Amino acid sequence: MLSLRLAFAFLALALGSSAALAQAYPAKPVRIIVPYPAGGIVDVVSRTITEKLSPMWGQPLIVEAKPGANANLGTGEAARAAPDGYTWLVQGPALTANPTIYGNLPWDPRRDFTGIGVLTWSLNVAVVPAGSTAKTLKEFVALAKSQPRKLFYGNPGMGSSNHLGTELFMQVAGIELESVGYKGQPPAMPDLLSGQLAFKFVAVGLATPHIKSGKLRPLALIARERSRLLPEVPTIVEAGYPDAAVVPWYGFVTRAGTPREVLAKINGDIAKVLALPEVQERLEQLGGQAAKPMAVAEIDALIRSDFDRWGAVVRKANIKPE
């Protein structure tokens, strides 16, 4: 009987400690590592969320840009942080693609990180210059098949969502395009507009003004649902290539091993912020689609799925470090 009472006492103590832990969080500033340059879309998306969370929590959320080594620098720093929920990493495609590209990284997204919030689905649109003879995506595929490796596409960075998405599309469509490297998307735009590039995946926010002006022709939105920014553009599913409809996402992860109560607190409050109309509008203005709330377990499953999917694309395309 005494042992039973002791067991209940320990259980009550454990439950009380867990509740207190979640209630106390955050008791100090939270550090958020962005493994991309400051001022970019990923940085802006992060701040859209943190600017709402900070007054809600009464604690500063400090966003730090730590670019370098194709996002591996900042990711590695986040992987070495304490598993207490006070250091987050902004997740992009590099988190799940880079382990296969580089092969010898000291971190593994499935082992070292856990998801706390999906923020936005990053929409790209497949475009050609206005002077292209291709009026539809299938027409462009036929054109590319008639000229293997003679048409050029803009690659804004190895392992970027544009690069991986284009490689996946080429594999699904059975075409070969020649990659031309650029340091980001904007530097590739003059060559695309002039027709030196025959094709490119472009972020919706960047492509829309050129589509509206008639300088670029949209062939398909890389998504399963149409965008309110480009409602007339068919999805890649509607265009006939559903297996290429893999939409990159950006969100927050933190160190694996963080107490479950803290994870639940963070995840729940991020969901509250994502439900705000002004936040959804801002994310759409940035060319994305605000994500619907996802539980921690769902995000972790998404990370594992992306790890397998992008790993297969990288291996088939034989993508190597530059």
Domain ranges of the chain: 30-121+248-317, 124-244
Instruction: Tell me if the bond preceding 26 is cis, omega within 30° of 0.
Output: yes
Please, which pLDDT band fits residue 17 given cuts at 50, 70 and 90?
very low
Q: Does domain 30-121+248-317 have CATH number 3.40.190.150?
A: yes
**Mean pLDDT, residues 256-269:** 98
Please, which pLDDT band fits residue 5 given cuts at 50, 70 and 90?
low
Sorted by sequence, the CB contacts under 8 Å of residue 201 that are 6+ apart come out as: 124, 125, 126, 127, 153, 161, 162, 165, 166, 169, 222
Please, which pLDDT band fits residue 19 given cuts at 50, 70 and 90?
low
Q: pLDDT value at position 271? A: 97
What is the sign of the dihedral through the CA atoms of 79, 80, 82 and 83? positive
What strands lie across the sheet with 124-129, from one edge to the other? 200-203, 124-129, 216-221
Please, which pLDDT band fits residue 9 given cuts at 50, 70 and 90?
very low
Q: pLDDT value at position 23? A: 66
The more confidently predicted of residues 21 and 204 is 204
Q: pLDDT value at position 58? A: 97
List the structure tokens of 291.
């994500």
Domain 30-121+248-317 and domain 124-244, same fold? Reply is yes
Distance CA 301, CA 43 (A): 24
Q: pLDDT value at position 11? A: 47
12-16, 44-48, 134-138: the lowest-pLDDT one: 12-16
Please, which pLDDT band fits residue 20 given cuts at 50, 70 and 90?
low
pLDDT digits (tens, 9 = 90+) for 238-249: 999 999 999 999
Q: What percent of the chain shows pLDDT beyond 90?
A: 81
Q: Residue 122: which H helix or E strand, with range?
A: strand 113-122
Query: 61: buried, middle or exposed (CB in 10 Å: 19+, 13-18, 0-12)?
Result: buried
Q: pLDDT value at position 228? A: 87
In degrees rounded to 5, what are phi and psi of residue 81? -75, 160
Q: pLDDT value at position 14? A: 47
The CATH homologous superfamily to which domain 124-244 belongs is: Periplasmic binding protein-like II (3.40.190.10)
pLDDT at 283 over 60: yes
**Mean pLDDT, residues 259-285:** 96
The more confidently predicted of residues 247 and 14 is 247
Helices (H), the chain: 2-24, 41-57, 72-79, 93-102, 109-112, 137-146, 161-173, 189-194, 204-212, 260-274, 277-285, 296-317
Please, which pLDDT band fits residue 40 given cuts at 50, 70 and 90?
confident
Q: pLDDT value at position 290? A: 87
pLDDT digits (tens, 9 = 90+) for 153-183: 999 988 888 999 999 999 999 999 999 999 8
The more confidently predicted of residues 20 and 266 is 266
